[in-house]
Amino acid sequence: MGIVNVTPDSFSDGGQFLDPAAAVAHALEEIAQGAEIIDVGGESTRPGAQPVSETEELRRVLPVIERLAGQVKVPISIDTMKPGVARAALQAGASLVNDVAANRADDAMWRIVSEARAGYVCMHMQGTPQTMQANPTYADVVAEVGDFFIERLRRLNESGMSADQVVLDVGIGFGKTVEHNLQLLDGLRSFTRLERPLLVGVSRKSFIGKLLGPDVAERLPGALACACWAAQVGVQIIRTHDVAETVQAIRMTEAMLAHRQ
């Protein structure tokens, strides 16, 4: 899954692809590099980011989705927390909603996804992007994220969504300390018991910097280590800014897995 941020303030590439033509060109480049899903987002969810209005978010993402939908075969994902943005994006040609706010209380988002028969990424987050990194606390983060997934699959089903629309994501960095992120990466295999595709997003994330020191432009090796680890324990989708490098690392991992005795 290649990332296309149509935002002025995302933590690693904010402002680069605000112009729809630049965003579309970036998506096409990611597809040429092997991306099999394009994730278009118009609101930064980095810790402490300011929310944007629905009007502004739509102004950013809709031209990009419309233009892409007219010319690419890969599924387009809309990265949004707003049901209204999800609805408009699905109408414009997106087929997957990436919901980092799947810990939401109301079911408007889920009804929209259900009715569209679209895909849905159900990501775990403790708190909100504004509060999540203040003091993340868990007794057992792997068990709690697993319980969250089970409870959400039930709620999604009650809102009309079938399990086969759902992808699960532990939400690396969303209300987690470095230690929590490492525990979740270690525990990834346990989530395969839920029999849903798994997605992991580690690209350029701050826990790599906190653990090893590199600043945001130099975290690719750390992210590739996580991506290969994830692929090896059964994760199907890696969300990344660096598609060519990630595809090569994953294909190599898959070649080794295919030859395992």
> Which residues lie closer than 8 Å to 36 by C-beta, 6 or more apart?
1, 74, 75
Report how many helices (DSSP H) and strands (DSSP E) the chain contains, helices first: 9, 8
Nearest one of 63, 77, 75, 74 to 24, comparing CA atoms: 63
115 near 160, Cβ under 8 Å? yes
Cβ nearer to ligand 7PJ, comparing 138 with 255: 138
> Which residues lie closer than 8 Å to 253 by C-beta, 6 or more apart?
228, 231, 232
Residue of 82, 87, 204, 205 marked catalytic: 205
Smallest gap from Cβ 27 to ligand 7PJ, in A, equals: 15
163 near 152, Cβ under 8 Å? no
The type of residue at 259 is H
Q: Does 199 bind ligand 7PJ (CB under 6 A)?
A: yes
Q: Does 250 bind ligand 7PJ (CB under 6 A)?
A: no
- How far is Cα 149 from Cα 95, in angstroms, rounded to an integer? 21
Q: Does 82 bind ligand 7PJ (CB under 6 A)?
A: no
* 52-to-7, 103, 192 alpha-carbon distances in Å: 10, 19, 35
Cβ-closest residue to ligand 7PJ?
Answer: 201
- How far is Cα 107 from Cα 123, in angstroms, rounded to an integer? 15
- How far is Cα 76 from Cα 39, in angstroms, rounded to an integer? 6
Among 169, 226, 230, 242, the residue binding ligand 7PJ under the rule CB under 6 A is 169
The type of residue at 37 is I
Question: Does residue 239 carry a catalytic annotation?
Answer: yes
Q: Does 142 bind ligand 7PJ (CB under 6 A)?
A: no
Q: How many CA atoms lie within 13 A of 2 on its CB side?
A: 24
Question: Does residue 176 carry a catalytic annotation?
Answer: no
Q: Does 30 bind ligand 7PJ (CB under 6 A)?
A: no
Smallest gap from Cβ 121 to ligand 7PJ, in A, equals: 5
Cβ nearer to ligand 7PJ, comparing 46 with 111: 46
Cβ nearer to ligand 7PJ, comparing 3 with 61: 3
Smallest gap from Cβ 161 to ligand 7PJ, in A, equals: 16
Site for ligand 7PJ in 105-134 (CB under 6 A): 121, 123
Smallest gap from Cβ 259 to ligand 7PJ, in A, equals: 30
Among 61, 239, 242, 243, the residue binding ligand 7PJ under the rule CB under 6 A is 239
Among 79, 132, 185, 231, the residue binding ligand 7PJ under the rule CB under 6 A is 79
Tell me which residues touch ligand 7PJ (CB under 6 A). Answer: 3, 45-46, 79, 98, 100, 121, 123, 169, 171-172, 199, 201, 203, 205, 239
Residues taking part in catalysis:
205, 239
